[in-house]
Structure 1
Amino acid sequence: MGFNISLSGINAANSDLNVTANNIANVNTTGFKESRAEFADLFQATSYGLSKNAIGSGVRTTNVAQQFIQGNNEQTGRSLDMAVSGEGFFTLTMNGARVYSRAGNFQTDQQGYVVNPQGARLQVFAPTADGSSFDAGRMTDLQLLTTDSPPRQTSMVNVSFTLPANAKQPTVTPFDPTNSNSYSHSTGGITVYDSLGVSHTQTSYFVKTATPNQWEVHNYVDGQPAGDAVPLTFSDTGTLTAPANGRIVMDPFTPSTGAGELAMTLDLSGSTQYGEQFALRNTAQDGYAAGKLNEITISEEGVVFARYSNGDDRALGQVALTTFNNPQGLQAKGNNLWAETFDSGTARTGQPDTSNLGKIQAGSLESSTVDLTEQLVNMITAQRNFQANAQMVSTQDQITQTIINIR
């Protein structure tokens, strides 16, 4: 009986050494979770149960439990590297099966899908049709766009200025955009875009009239008038009173590029008539040309943005995180992947930084949770346990030999 007890101790110590060796081997593995060998004592039961003086029958390995604690997030600066700061696993699909990982060392395949080194595709919540939010009930593979961002036609031109209250009428009439003496001030050229992304120049010219607090604005696109002159009226405190909403609808302009009509509204809200000098405070418009993909960025909420050279930002999806009631019940699949089991409980998938799910730290990787110093101490302890049990086998052998030699 003593041989079997010692043999069980040797097997347990060997299991402990194997677990420690595996931990040390993965000290630099991204997203690796340290394992711990767990043991239980053995007793030989009889039909009467165990007596209070029963001697144990040895030990057995009951579980090798991975410790799902947070590892350090190390900065890498690489845009597709991600780390989960808090609870949750990245959700992936591999050969049609759903798997989970804490390792965020992602890359793109030849089709532009974001995958882990083994080719499992990262799952995200798809953006809604208008791009304003995400459909948390529908996951899809994250695919990075490699095409250009299409142009956007200008529809609104915003101009904010201050006209001088003591301005005089121009010395030359009628108004002529080629003669600076026929108008008081201008906005200069504002670049606008047609539906093909070709740029055009929109200019507003301001002419002081004989009526106090009243001006006329002449709008041109590429040197062509975009409607008749529109009166601007200011109050005696210098605020714009007409047009009432501060907006002027310009006549459509037909570009020679083959693009559609360029219909724009000029918004003069906030413009004033003060002092003695003209000041152009702000100009803006909502169109842009076609753009090249500059970079991929990921927010703490896991939103993946494609950023283009034209200033357009397009949300491609929101990273889906999954958590379990009992992560230790997950089945290790190797390659830093786990699979759901009955013991782990049902997967609960949601958006980062909601409920008990963590945030996404872009440009970082979660390091292994293995403490090398602790593992070396465990190795020495397991080695001593192995030696002690082996010594027990030797002692039992000596006792058995003594009994055999009795005459």
Structure 2
Amino acid sequence: MSSTAEQMRAWRGPALLTFGFRPFFLGAGVWAVLIMALWVPMLSGALTVPTAFDPVSWHAHEFLFGYLSAVVAGFLLTAVPNWTGRLPIVGWSLGGLAALWVAGRVAVGLSLLLPPLVVAVVDLAMPVALGFVIAREIVAGKNWKNLIVLGMLAAFTLANALFHWEAATGSYAAQGYGLRLGLVAGVMMIAVIGGRIVPSFTRNWLVKRGDGQLPTPPMQKLDKGALLLLLAALLIWVVLPVHWVAGFALLLAGIAHALRLARWAGYRTGPEPLVAVLHVAYAFVPLGALAIAAETLRPDLFGAAAAQHIWMAGAIGLMTLAVMTRATLGHTGQPLTAGIGTVGVYLALIVAVLARVGAGVWPSEADWLHLIAGLGWITGFGGFVMIYGPLLLRLPPDKRPGD
């Protein structure tokens, strides 16, 4: 096949398997809803899931390593062909990767009935296979600059393995090294990849409008310094999560990334929420760093879990939702603009983040704030599935067989 479009036309199976973003973005959206729909009654004790993980650890694992791994797979399987100039993974090979991801969710959910090693092997199968696929494509395309992305994927997979080990040995994995390392990998993915796409997409939109001052191009000296500072601060936090050194390092990293974000002209993007949401999502990176720094330097300010949710639900949740909506529109031939429904899902998720953090600030109001956070999350990702699911399940007219 000489082009991606020809390869897609030649595929006679489900449209869902014509491009990496389709099965994994849809799966991520559905799973995000199911995680929260199960978690709310689990939190109140009304539901028990047959998992060997304690409820909080299951919730944390399935959001970070379940949901995020699907989004990462969908993004990389779609972006890497553009980076390397090679054809995407299509058809049953893509379906096999998606099936491995589903198997991992089932294995973790039923882990009370399975040996821990079996659960870990099944859950790690998809990210390991994805790593080999991405490595092959990068090497074959000689796209060496994106080896850093492969490195972050490897760190994320290692963190998942560590999480399984901690859970199997009886540790409270929700506050363990595996979770923190996985969160570090996720935040660094946003800082590195988001640091490329946010100013680039902003620049493209402003140029199209003929609108004044443009954002500073990505990966200038300040960007590189901010990334190195964030990486150092995050690694210190993984090892010494409550030490003042970690708090001070995260404080500096938060300030550096706030300055980085300020150079991307986000204040000019209000008329197009599809662009503006990228800036809001990235803002949760420095906000999370500053919040965890504050909680480290002044414990019990609003709780470590609430501070971490600024990264988990805010930075990761909103940035992945923003990327999934934009990529789906772009790759299905739709106008790159956010309709009222898309704006609604963004706002619902922001409300969820604010409510979750508020539950830490006002513990006496935590019950109803947790409920608002859960409903906001379900509304945001449920809205994504309803609005974007049909686009993910069918091909554009010019990509259909015979057209």
- Give TM-score, length-normalised by structure 2: 0.17
User: Greater Rg, structure 1 or structure 2?
Assistant: 1
Q: Hey, which of these two has a bigger chunk of strand by percent? A: 1
Q: Hey, which of these two has a bigger chunk of helix by percent? A: 2
- Give TM-score, length-normalised by structure 1: 0.17
